[in-house]
A and B are shown apart, each in its own frame.
Chain A
Amino acid sequence: MVPFAGYDMPVQYPDGIIKEHLHTRAAAGLFDVSHMGQVIVSGANPSKSIEKLIPGDIQALQPGEMRYSFLTNDNGGILDDLIVTRREGDLFVVVNAACKEQDIALLTEGLAGEASVTELTDRALVALQGPKAAAVLARYSAEIASMPFMSFREVAIDGVACFVTRSGYTGEDGYEISIPNEQAVGFCRKLLAEPEVKPIGLGARDSLRLEAGLCLYGHDLTEKTTPVAAGLLWAISKRRREEGGFPGAAVIQAEIANKPAMKRVGILPEGRAPAREHTEITDEAGNVIGEITSGGFSPSLEIPIAMGYVPLAFSSIGTKINLLVRGKPRPAVVAKMPFVEQRYYRG
């Protein structure tokens, strides 16, 4: 167990990170992500209101649809990444644990007079991820199995009122399920009794998302990185790019037009030595040009993998770079992400 954003979190269960990781890719893993913030934004037109604070095209969402976005600052930097779901009368927003107090304050203040912001402290959040996740949940509710990727339903699972989204942080098909606190333990025990399901800790959550090329806030994304540098422009629609109207819009629009100075890239170190976060990246002449922001070992590929930021001129796939691991330059190459193919449900 380790402390994480004020919560005691399991890094691993007795199986260990590699087995937990491979189990999630092969069957189904259950993650307790209750530390994340669950927030309701309600008002006359919350979809329009929240666009003042985030660049996501929330007005384009129909009830039951959801979108990945981020809170930005006036410099276009990312204050947190989040998921916004449009429900019939309001928005259901899931934010990172370490940022939730700041996010709630920001939303409350930014939307004052238009929308109210309420944290759902009475609900737990779990993720069931992996190729068998849908088959497991189909035993409890037939409609869950046919939900499209990035959609939301309120469903009673075994008599428990759940908010279910078909989404996740592993690159696999899967679900995140919000459950009333008092029913959470019983619900998890029931899922863990299913033959395909095992509990998965923070360690494998990190290696799974890294293989899938997904960013971790506070590491790959910070208030100093823009969505353009981070390669997250896909999350800003044409309308929002043109109209702006969110913090830092001018900076982001200028970066779109003129290209960013740095770019987030995938990196494959040669050999077996992992390159960890904060490892310096150099060019072949030895000049420091950037830094690894996430790095570790890929249990699926059995090789080290990493992501980091390099100048635009070094960002094409196949570019040779060096990584200073314990002071020694080790060769590496800029590589395509995701490292392991994403297998989201496309119907």
Chain B
Amino acid sequence: MSYKFTKDHEWVLLEGDVATIGISDYAQGQLGDVVYVEVPEVGKEISKADELAVVESVKAASEVYSPVSGEIVAVNSELEGEPTMVNEDAMDKGWFAKIKITDASELDDLMDEEAYKAFIEGLE
């Protein structure tokens, strides 16, 4: 069990067939102070690349696209009252949603922690 990353700076943590999704620490740093997170509804079916959530900083709104397909089985409702959790703990308490995945092979293209680190170094 380890974090996987997308080029859009989302992370995926797979436990059994449930994937937890959030944005990376690098992404929260780029966004700045998060003031609002719109999470999806539990029970919703979502396809890879669909809009999963919207993260709003003081300055702008950014869409978060789902890296996997499946059913939303849980969302982090605590973000409603405490959106800054995304800044404070992006990789753990700042998670957005849990998705029961339908196609584990969708994770094959994602980067592991080391590859993602190299990827963001290449951006700077």
Contacts and interface: CB of A to CB of B under 8 A. Distances in A.
Contacts of A18: 33, 58
A16 B84 CA distance: 13
B54 to A, nearest CB: 7
15 contacts: A11-B32, A17-B33, A17-B58, A18-B58, A203-B32, A203-B59, A206-B59, A272-B83, A273-B38, A274-B35, A296-B58, A296-B59, A299-B33, A304-B35, A304-B36
Interface string B74-99: 00000010010000000000000000
Nearest to B56: A274
Contact of B58 (A203, A272, A273, A326): A203
Contact of B36 (A21, A207, A272): A272
Q: Looking at B33, B36, B80, which has the most chain A CB atoms within 10 Å of its CB?
A: B33
Interface string A260-274: 000000000000111
Nearest to A326: B54
A17 B31 CA distance: 11
Interface string B46-60: 000000001011111
A276 B72 CA distance: 28
Contacts of A304: 35-36
Contacts, number: 43
A96 interface: no
A297 B61 contact: no
B75 to A, nearest CB: 15
B41 to A, nearest CB: 12
A34 interface: no
Interface residues of A, number: 18
Contacts of B80: 272
Contacts of B54: 326
Contact of A272 (B32, B33, B35, B59): B35
Interface of A: 11-12, 16-18, 21, 203, 206-207, 272-274, 276, 296-297, 299, 304, 326
Interface in B14-32: 32
Interface of B: 32-33, 35-36, 38, 54, 56-61, 80, 83
A273 B37 CA distance: 8
Nearest to A2: B59
Given A297-B36, A299-B58, 4 more contacts: A16-B33, A17-B32, A273-B36, A274-B36
B59 A17 contact: yes
A334 to B, nearest CB: 21
A235 B61 CA distance: 34
Contacts of B38: 273, 326
A21 B32 CA distance: 13
A272 B83 CA distance: 10
A85 B84 CA distance: 43
A94 to B, nearest CB: 25
A50 B80 CA distance: 52
Which 3 pairs from chain A and chain B are nearest by CB? A297-B35, A17-B58, A18-B33
Contacts of A276: 60-61
A304 B58 CA distance: 9
Nearest to B59: A203
Nearest to B51: A326
A11 B36 CA distance: 19
Contacts of B36: 272-274, 297, 304
A289 B57 CA distance: 27
A16 B83 contact: no
Contact of B56 (A12, A21, A203, A273): A273
A208 to B, nearest CB: 11
Contacts of B33: 16-18, 299
B80 to A, nearest CB: 7
A43 B73 CA distance: 73
A268 to B, nearest CB: 15
